[in-house]
Structure 1
Amino acid sequence: MKNNKINLAIAGVNGRMGKSILKILNTSKINNLTLNGVTEHKLSLKKENKILYKSNFLNIKSNLIDIKNQFDILIDFTNPKTTLENINFCKKYKKKIVIGTTGFTEQQKLIIKKISKDIAVILSSNFSQGINFLLKIIENFTKILCKNKEINNLDIDIIEKHHKNKKDSPSGTALSLKDMIIYNYKKFNIVKKVTCHSIRAADLYGEHNILFSFIGEQIELIHKASNRIPFAKGAINAAIWLSNKKTGIYNMHDVLGI
């Protein structure tokens, strides 16, 4: 990128996260960052195939090839199938990509990791600061629990709530929390069951409750989102951070330096 200018594109601009990212970009002044291209699945395009960005209108395209010369970094909150198509496009044309899509299979994650040898990738199930700080807290907390002789009497449950149209269940964030706990137990040669519970209702933005239950007492760690702004800001900050990377796969812990 010349003169450190970041040319950005959004895949899935009419989706919940796409709209939230666009809103932040329209209401914030971010030096050296410009939104130059947006895409949406052709079946989702409305009669008016334009969006307002700053004082100009951008045409919404149905695929990335139409804007391949207009961006350096793509933010993608779509679905696993579309994201894999998009990351292969980014590999071919040497673009960087921020992936917020969840619901990938293990095989799909391996494909993304392999492609990251050629381009820079951020893959995260959640872009909010709060959730990523919570993951760090849980990492340290489980280390303490593993040293406790009563650990076998502990039940661990993750309760997550999202809007009724969210397709993956449990959420990618819930699975990240679960993986963090199990990973730390394995370090102490302890096999521990972590149970996820999902609620899909109305237009909930996202809530994650990690419940550690002992006999006679419980410890709860809770993160609640009241809107999508923290996720949108996190994705934009991730794109800015990624602009200085050439290859490799990263997550929000890398972006936040935690």
Structure 2
Amino acid sequence: MNNKIRLAISGINGRMGKTLLKIINQDKYNFTLNAVLESKKSLNINTNIKYISKNILYNLNIKDNIMDIINDFDTLIDFTNPKATLKYVNICNQYNKNIVIGTTGFSEKEKIEIKKLSNKIGIVMSSNFSTGINILFKILKYMSKIFNKQNNTLNIDIIEKHHKNKIDCPSGTAISMKNIIQKFFNHKNSQKVNCHSIRAGDIYGEHQIIFSSIGEQIELIHKASNRIPFATGAIQAAIWISHFKKKGIYDMCDVLGL
């Protein structure tokens, strides 16, 4: 067990926490889940969760204080909220722990703070951990560079749909898409990139980018039918940063080598 990567998960009873546990129970990875966290408001504090690895049943006690588990993990996977994540990043920095951040909704000031903390530890921070979305990011860079060479006016719209309980609006993924387009497509005649958000039902995540000019359109669409791609990517990122053992801040494109 000592040769394996030791992971911890915060927000274990949330949507992503439960999906991560589901993936871990498939036992495809060479790591151990050693600790789990929840907020103080959770009704499940100090109760146990179970998972199976190599046909061995493990029981983990859910804690609400990261200091109770600080010696039990090497890399933390965090899908919580900006306030909690900032606390966890600071503590990981203090105790030389890696962290994978799937939380979105940070202010620019908070992003700068996280980047500064990466001078000492390894951080993978991404608005979306699915392979498909990160390939789409790469395609957007390529398309934006091409459009930037054309002397025409484009309307660029991003439409994103998520479940009704998602707080940040537009989504972190949509903001990443907008930033990519604006970085690589800066033609003076182009209109600004418009983001449109829909919050309804239990939609896992859908992103549509529309490039419109006179007489034609190009549309790119990514749909998630469940949260498994996001959880799988986060675990992949945790393994990658644990093996990489390098200070700095990285994203899922770095993990995938895109």
**d(CA) in 1 for partners of 2:2 and 2:93?**
20
**d(CA) in 2 for partners of 1:47 and 1:121?**
27
Match of 1:45 in 2: 43
User: What code does the residue aligned with 1:98 have?
Assistant: V
State the 1:246 CA deviation: 3.0
Match of 1:95 in 2: 97
Per the normalisation by structure 1, the TM-score is: 0.94
User: What code does the residue aligned with 1:241 have?
Assistant: W
Q: Identity, % of aligned pairs?
A: 62
Could you give the per-residue CA deviations for residues 39-88 of structure 1, whole angstroms, max 9, x where no partner exists?
00021233772111111211000011111111000000000000000001
**d(CA) in 2 for partners of 1:95 and 1:102?**
20
For the Cα contact (< 8 Å) 1:18–1:77, is it kept in 2? Answer: yes
Could you give the per-residue CA deviations for residues 91-114 of structure 1, whole angstroms, max 9, x where no partner exists?
111110000000000000000000
Match of 1:134 in 2: 136
For the Cα contact (< 8 Å) 1:185–1:192, is it kept in 2? Answer: no
1:257 correspondence with 2:257 = yes
1:14 correspondence with 2:13 = yes
For the Cα contact (< 8 Å) 2:155–2:190, is it kept in 1? Answer: no
Q: Which moved more, 1:111-120 or 1:49-58?
A: 49-58
Distance 1:213 1:7, change over 3 A: same
Distance 1:86 1:190, change over 3 A: farther
**d(CA) in 2 for partners of 1:176 and 1:9?**
27
The 3-state SS of whatever aligns with 2:115 is helix
Kindly report which structure 2 residues correspond to 1:87-126, keeping only aligned pairs within 5 A, or say none: 87-126=89-128
1:155 correspondence with 2:155 = yes
1:82 correspondence with 2:79 = no
User: What code does the residue aligned with 2:128 have?
Assistant: N
Per the normalisation by structure 2, the TM-score is: 0.94
The 3-state SS of whatever aligns with 1:27 is coil
4+ runs deviating over 3 angstroms: 188-192
Structure 1 unaligned blocks of 5 or more: none
The 3-state SS of whatever aligns with 1:97 is strand
Q: CA RMSD in A?
A: 1.6
Kindly report which structure 2 residues correspond to 1:48-59, keeping only aligned pairs within 5 A, or say none: 49-54=47-52, 55-59=57-61
Number of positions where the alignment pairs a residue of Structure 1 with one of Structure 2: 253
Q: Which moved more, 1:162-171 or 1:237-246?
A: 237-246
